């Protein structure tokens, strides 16, 4: 028995007695060479990678096939998809071709060509540069040579109005549903284009300008349905016939540029017929008018009485709900102002500017929660302006609240901000103005409108 190296990481036993003498000598030399290479730690050879494009010429929006082939043994190498500027790249699939095969006894050596294909669609004219494509198989790597090819615009001469921008072969079909409808109902008309040329068709055909189209037919285009692989485009239209009879949608011509023949090719969809049924018209002469019999019933009076009673009940309930809501709002405003008064009593000049700013921000946020149900949380200057203006109906007070919260933020987070005294003075002036607004809105007396004067004096004397 002996051993044969399938590759540098695998040894396979082989029965040497089954091999002829000369072949055993040759295999022995191969084995010894492999083992020597493994002992010396020779690096693995790079993979052979080749990238090639389909035949020229190349045009904008043309479907170009990029083929990447690798010669390797064992499993399929990993191909890193290329990133090409000004082009769309879509994988198409893989393939495998056997290059060579050899064996030593029961051990078989195979070399395969692994193929990966991609669809490349250029978006503009110029030089299309495809970078080197990397391939990896275990610890072995390889790269292809970069490719540069010129991309042309389709020619202007000979371009018909039915050209939709596609380049390459295509097929076109048409269908409509339903096949029979009443007059005025909507039809769903579809033109389906399949093939590589569909990738470049960016605009639908203008079927409304067809000379053979039935008059009185309303046409509304709908969004295009696009599929990348296999390439297809479905152009949809909503058709509404306004005349009864046999409606025939004539063939629609679609043109694409053939890069092989270097000329424009036009194909037409089949015509589609629809039966439009007229709706039976209304004949007023067929109506029979029967006089209403008179009777001594009391239901009209009962109906009027019930209606009046219902209106009175609805008005009473609405008035009660309005008064209840007004009282609840008044109580919430009283509670909000009591909270602000307590806040000013708790603040004095001994606190730092940062702590004073934090408490003023939280206090004004709590005021807005009680007064107008604003959710508790961080209060920004913009939110303070909007909340105070909504609660008091005064944009000027909203702007003052915005400035106060902005100064509180500066005191908390800026390197240099307003002092404690300045924050307290500004807060007292704002709170006094809020108290005066509350007193004017609710008809309160002067004592209520000056609910914040006492805390202001206490704070002023706290910092002589």
Q: Tens digits of per-residue pLDDT, 69-86?
A: 998 877 888 998 888 898
- DSSP conformation letters of 147-196: EEEEEBPPPSTT--TTEEEEES--EEEEEEE-SEEETT--EEEEEEEESG
CA quadruple 348, 350, 352, 355: dihedral, nearest 10: -40
Clarify whether residues 207 and 143 are in a common domain.
Answer: no
Compute how many other C-beta atoms are within 10 angstroms of the C-beta atom of residue 238: 13
> In terms of domains, do 330 and 427 share one?
yes
Element (H, E) at 290: none
pLDDT of 377: 78
Which residue stretches of the chain have pLDDT < 50? Answer: 1-19, 22, 25-26, 28-42, 439-464
Contact residues for 267 (Cβ-Cβ < 8 A; gap 6+):
170, 171, 172, 253, 254, 255
Q: Are residues 438 and 338 in the same domain?
A: yes
pTM over 0.85: no
How many whole angstroms separate alpha carbon 429 and alpha carbon 450? 11
Of 346, 387, 50, the closest CA to residue 377 belongs to 387
Number of helices (H) and strands (E), helices first, in the chain? 8, 22
Q: Which helix (H) or strand (E) holds 455?
A: helix 453-462
Residue 273's pLDDT is what?
A: 85
- Tell me if 420 sits within 8 A of 352, measured CB to CB: yes
What is residue 169's predicted lDDT score, i.e. its pLDDT?
92
Summarize pLDDT for 201-243 with one digit per residue, the tens: 888 888 766 666 666 678 888 888 888 888 899 999 888 887 7
Any domain includes 269 = yes
Strand 171-177 to 187-194 pairing: antiparallel
Residue 290 within a domain: no
181 CB contacts (<8 Å, ≥6 apart)?
187, 241, 274, 275, 276, 277
Q: Are residues 261 and 340 in the same domain?
A: no
397 with 374, same domain? yes
Last residue of a domain, one of 119, 151, 183: 151
State both tokens at 83.
């990133």
Same domain, 147 and 167: no
Q: Are residues 353 and 448 in the same domain?
A: yes
Tell me if 338 is assigned to some domain: yes
* CATH number for 267: 2.60.40
Query: Does 328 lie in the same domain as 454?
Result: yes
In a domain, 294, yes or no: no
In a domain, 128, yes or no: yes
Structure tokens at 340: 């602000």
Instruction: Quote the domain boundaries for residue 28.
Output: 2-32
Identify which of 392, 389, 423 has the alpha carbon closest to the alpha carbon of residue 409. Answer: 423
Q: Can you tell me the distance from the alpha carbon of 68 to that of 49, in angstroms, rounded to the nearest whole number?
A: 7
* C-alpha to C-alpha distance for 352 and 424, rounded to whole angstroms: 11
Q: What is the DSSP string of 208-232?
A: GG-TTSPTTEEEEE-PPEEETTTTE
Please tell me the total count of domains within the chain. 4
Please indicate, yes or no, whether residues 75 and 141 belong to a single structural domain of this protein: yes
Bridge partners, 193 (sequence order): 172, 233
Give the sign of the dihedral formed by CA 269, CA 270, CA 272, CA 273: positive
Same domain, 255 and 328: no
One domain, residues 102 and 186: no
Residue 426 forms part of a structural domain? yes
Do 256 and 170 contact (CB within 8 A), yes or no? Answer: yes
pLDDT of residue 330: 61
């Amino acid at each position: 028995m002996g051993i044969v190296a399938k590759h540098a990481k695998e040894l396979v036993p082989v029965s040497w007695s089954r091999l002829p003498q000369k072949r055993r000598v040759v295999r022995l030399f191969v084995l010894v060479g492999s083992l020597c290479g493994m002992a010396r730690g020779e690096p693995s050879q790079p993979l052979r990678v080749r990238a090639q494009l389909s035949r020229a010429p190349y045009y904008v929006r043309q479907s170009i096939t990029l083929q990447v082939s690798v010669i390797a043994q064992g499993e399929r190498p990993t191909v890193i998809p290329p990133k090409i500027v000004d082009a769309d790249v879509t994988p198409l699939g893989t393939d495998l071709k056997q290059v060579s095969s050899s064996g030593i006894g029961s051990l078989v050596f195979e070399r395969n060509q692994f193929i990966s294909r991609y669809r490349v669609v250029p978006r503009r004219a110029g030089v299309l540069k495809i970078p080197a494509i990397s391939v990896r198989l275990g610890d072995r790597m390889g790269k292809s040579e970069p490719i540069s090819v010129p991309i042309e615009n389709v020619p202007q001469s000979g371009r018909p109005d039915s050209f939709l921008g596609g380049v390459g072969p295509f097929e076109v079909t048409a269908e409509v549903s339903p096949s029979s409808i009443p007059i005025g109902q909507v039809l769903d008309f579809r033109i389906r284009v399949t093939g590589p040329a569909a990738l470049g068709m960016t605009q639908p055909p203008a079927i409304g300008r067809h000379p053979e189209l039935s008059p009185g037919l309303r046409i509304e285009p709908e969004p295009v349905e696009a599929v990348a692989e296999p390439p297809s485009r479905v152009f949809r239209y909503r058709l509404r016939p306004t005349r009864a009879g046999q409606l025939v949608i004539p063939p629609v011509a679609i043109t694409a540029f053939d890069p092989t023949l270097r000329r424009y090719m036009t194909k037409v969809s089949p015509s589609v017929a629809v039966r439009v049924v007229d709706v039976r018209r209304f004949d007023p002469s067929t109506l029979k008018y029967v006089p209403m019999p008179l009777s001594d019933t009391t239901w009209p009076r009962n109906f009027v009485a019930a209606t009046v009673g219902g209106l009175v009940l609805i008005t009473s309930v609405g008035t009660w709900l309005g008064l209840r809501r007004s009282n609840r709002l008044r109580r919430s405003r009283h509670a909000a102002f009591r909270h602000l008064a307590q806040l000013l009593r708790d603040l004095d000049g001994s606190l730092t500017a940062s702590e004073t700013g934090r408490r003023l921000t939280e206090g004004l946020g709590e005021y807005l929660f009680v007064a107008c149900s604003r959710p508790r949380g961080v209060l920004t200057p913009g939110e303070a302006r909007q909340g105070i203006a909504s609660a008091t109906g005064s944009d000027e007070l909203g702007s003052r609240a915005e400035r106060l919260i902005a100064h509180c933020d500066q005191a908390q987070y800026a390197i240099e901000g307003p002092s404690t005294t300045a924050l307290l003075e500004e807060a007292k002036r704002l709170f006094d103005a809020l108290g005066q607004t509350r007193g004017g809105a609710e008809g309160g007396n002067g004592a209520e409108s000056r609910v914040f004067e006492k805390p202001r004096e206490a704070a002023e004397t706290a910092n002589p």
